[in-house]
A and B are shown apart, each in its own frame.
Chain A
């Protein structure tokens, strides 16, 4: 900042409906100018301090909590909203079970081997396949017969869930691949 500009106020740069940067002794980067141009001065409104992370600018403990817990790794725009899961009309403990499976956090053999709790990744019932969540819920012979026994709207749930699980695994694998 140039010392000649220290006394300036925001409205001093505002000239009949547009920004006038020529009177500044300080040189601003172009992208900053661009950002400033999107702001308009309004004579009837006071300058106020707002809480930016909330939509209406008003402080609320819940938006603050959200803001505080968004570490860069959790701000992932590709991440789909999970509200569909919590609005399913099923008992809470089943929802919790689905939540666990969507996080791939059921103690399947894959999960246990990963955590050094077991040495065998194979399914302990059929012994043929790796026992991961999709095997447990979808591919296992018994699971298949249960699903085929159920009527259409319930079986639809299976399709949604396995798709979501599949989506999450692939997106994770892609991430692992591109950021070794």
Chain B
């Protein structure tokens, strides 16, 4: 080991922790892996901030925190339901304060501003919409390296919309497939030459 270290110039470690701020995922992915997101969000939305800001300010801060902190992780991972709920709860609690009741329903707040909401993003839906970018890549950029790798390994020339999650697939791929289940109905074929089957789509 020491000789290897000497030759390669690396040092060894028994703790595989994080890479680019993202915990390295090994084995089955469970909730504790993601609790660092909650810690970060709660850190930014700490109590003293809440006391100093009015509600409008709290909404702005909450929006910037939840859109910035978990985005990278949301891109690649299907976050566990519990984590999403906890993020949403933290945000709600921060906006309204723990002692008062919530004056406007969460469903309304999470609509866009043009639709009468405050543009706060629900964690689950934001997660799906970011994962969906990979679906788009799989369809439209088949020459990308990761797309080649994943499609050859898991799709076998099938369409991503008909694919089932294979057992033991990598977490990223099964995350993408989970998002596909939600987004399927939004993808349509725009007919050009008309080479596609009359009955079987996508």
Interface residues of A (CB under 8 A from B): 1, 5-6, 8-14, 39, 41-53, 57, 59, 61-62, 64-69, 71, 74, 79, 81-83, 86, 92-93, 95-96, 99-100, 102-103, 105-107, 111, 115, 117
Which of B18-26, B78-86, B115-123, B146-154 touches A? B115-123
Contact with B133, one of A9, A48, A59 (Cβ below 8 angstroms): A59
B199 x A8 contact (CB < 8 A):
yes
Contact with B59, one of A6, A9, A10, A96 (Cβ below 8 angstroms): A96
Contact with A79, one of B60, B104, B116, B118 (Cβ below 8 angstroms): B116
Which of chain B's residues 172-192 have a Cβ closer than 8 Å to chain A?
Answer: 182-183, 186-192
CB-CB under 8 A for A47 and B114, given A65-B126, A117-B101: no
CB-CB under 8 A for A49 and B189, given A5-B199, A82-B114, A115-B101: yes
Within the complex, what minimum Cβ distance (angstroms) separates A103 from chain B? 5
Contacts of A6 in B (CB 8 A): 199
Q: How far is the CA of A99 from the CA of B118 in the complex (A)?
A: 9
B side interface size, CB within 8 A: 49
Q: How far is the CA of A111 from the CA of B182 in the complex (A)?
A: 37
B192 x A45 contact (CB < 8 A):
yes
Within the complex, what minimum Cβ distance (angstroms) separates B150 from chain A? 17
B197 x A74 contact (CB < 8 A):
no
B189 x A47 contact (CB < 8 A):
yes
Interchain Cβ contacts under 8 Å between A and B, 17 examples: A11-B195, A13-B198, A45-B192, A47-B191, A47-B193, A47-B196, A48-B189, A49-B189, A53-B186, A61-B133, A64-B128, A64-B129, A65-B129, A74-B107, A82-B115, A105-B103, A111-B103
Contacts of A103 in B (CB 8 A): 103-104, 108, 116
Most buried by A among B57, B114, B133, B198: B198
- One digit per residue, 1 when the CB lies within 8 angstroms of any chain A CB and 0 when it does not, for chain B 39-72 equals 0000000000000001111011000000000000
Q: How far is the CA of A117 from the CA of B100 in the complex (A)?
A: 11
CB-CB under 8 A for A43 and B193, given A5-B199, A65-B129, A86-B113: yes
Contacts of B57 in A (CB 8 A): 92-93
Contacts of A65 in B (CB 8 A): 121, 125-126, 129
Contacts of A96 in B (CB 8 A): 54-56, 59
Contacts of A43 in B (CB 8 A): 192-193
B54 x A93 contact (CB < 8 A):
yes
B187 x A49 contact (CB < 8 A):
yes
Most buried by B among A69, A105, A115: A69
Contacts of B101 in A (CB 8 A): 115, 117
Within the complex, what minimum Cβ distance (angstroms) separates A18 from chain B? 13
Most buried by B among A14, A42, A48: A48
B110 at the interface (CB under 8 A from A): yes
Q: Residue on B with the closest CB to A48?
A: B190
A10 x B103 contact (CB < 8 A):
no
Contact with A69, one of B56, B114, B125 (Cβ below 8 angstroms): B125
Most buried by A among B101, B103, B116: B116
Contacts of B108 in A (CB 8 A): 103
Q: Residue on A with the closest CB to B56?
A: A96
